[in-house]
Amino acid sequence: MAPPRPTTTLSPRQSRVVGALLGLHAGDSLGATLEFESHAAIASRYPNGLRQIVGGGPFSWPAGHATDDTDMARGVLLAYRDVKPRDDIARLAGDNFLKWQCGEWPGRTPGSPPVDIGLATATGLERYRESGDPDRAGAGEGSAGNGSLMRCLPTGLFQPDGEKLMEESVRISRITHDDSRCTVSCAAYNAMVAELIDGRPADEAVRAGEALAARLENGDDGPVHAAMATGRRVQVADMARRGPPAEMRGQCSGYVLETLALAVAAVLDGRGLEDVLVDVVRIGKDTDTNAAVAGGLLGARDGEGAIPAAWREKLQFGDEFREIALALTTTTTTK
C-alpha cells in the first residue's frame, strides 16, 4: 500500500521533518543500485542519471529496501521515539545498533546479520558491546568514514536544545566513529538540519553549521569547516557531468568530509530535490550514503511534497518514518 500523501493538515515544520527522513531513505534507496560504481561507468549506463528506485546493486537490494544507512538512522530515530527523561540517548541508540547488528531487528529475518556493515562501524560496535559505554567505544582516530554522518539526522530533527543537539550528535557518532572529523561533521550537519526545519534558507543553515564547526574546531581553519567551504565552491551539476573535482581526492568514495561537502553543495543547489539527488548519484562511488546524507538536508529544506510519489511508495520504512515524525513533531511552528 502506498504511504499517505502529503496533506494540507501538516504544518510546514511537520512536512520538513517528514521530508528529511524520507529524503534520507529515498537517497539511500536510489543510490543503492549504483554503489561503488565510478562516475564513468554510471555515465555509460545512465547518461541522464538513474531516476527510479529499482533496487539491485552489489548487494541485490529489493527496490526501496533500507541499506545500512537507513537502518542505522532508524536505530537513532527509534531511540528518540522511546527515550524517557532519565535515559541516555546515546546508549539507547547504541543498543539499537547492536540489535541491528545481531539480527534482532524489525523488518529482517530474526538472527540474520546486516548484508553490509562498514569496518569502522563493526569495530566500534564490538567495543561498545564490551564496554557498554558510548563514550568508550569507537574505531579510533584515523577512521574517518561517513558511517556516523549517514545516520545522525534524527538528532537534528528531534533535539530542540542547541547545546544538547551538539552533545548528542557527538556522542552518538562516537559509538563507532570517534575521530573528530566525524563527530564534528555530525554536529555541524545537525545544526544545518535544525535551521532548515525551522524554515530558514539554506545559506543561513550552512552558516549555522559552519559556526558550530568553528566552535568545536577552535577556529575556522579546521578540516570540517574547510569541507563546508568546499561544499560552497563546488556545483553538484558540474560534478554529475564531469566527476568529482581534483580537491576531492577520495572521489566521494566514503570519506566523511567529502560526503559532508557534497551535502552542503546539494542543499545550496537551487533545483528541486529529485534533480539534485539524481545528480548526486551520478557522481559515483559511495552513491547510497552520499545521496542519503544529501537527501536528509534536501528533504528538510523542501518538505515531504518534494519526494516523488513513485519513490515514496517504494520506501521500506516510509510509513513508519512518517508516523514517528508526526508523533514527535508539534504543529505549533508555522514558518
Q: Is residue 275 a known part of a binding site?
A: no
Contact 93, 75 (CB under 8 A): yes
Q: Is residue 133 a known part of a binding site?
A: no
**Helical axes 287-302 vs 273-283, angle rounded to 10°:** 160
SS3 135: helix
**Which residues neighbour 320 within 8 Å (Cβ) at sequence distance 6 or greater?**
74
**Which residues neighbour 122 within 8 Å (Cβ) at sequence distance 6 or greater?**
101
Q: Is residue 68 a known part of a binding site?
A: yes
Q: Is residue 67 a known part of a binding site?
A: yes
Rounded CA separation 53/32 (Å): 9
Q: Is residue 269 a known part of a binding site?
A: no
Q: Is residue 221 a known part of a binding site?
A: no
Contact 64, 315 (CB under 8 A): yes
SS3 56: strand
Rounded CA separation 326/20 (Å): 12
> Helix, strand, coil: what percent of the chain each, to 5?
60, 0, 40
Contact 175, 137 (CB under 8 A): yes
Annotated binding site for Mg(2+): 67-69, 286, 288-289
Would you list which residues are annotated within the binding site? 67-69, 286, 288-289
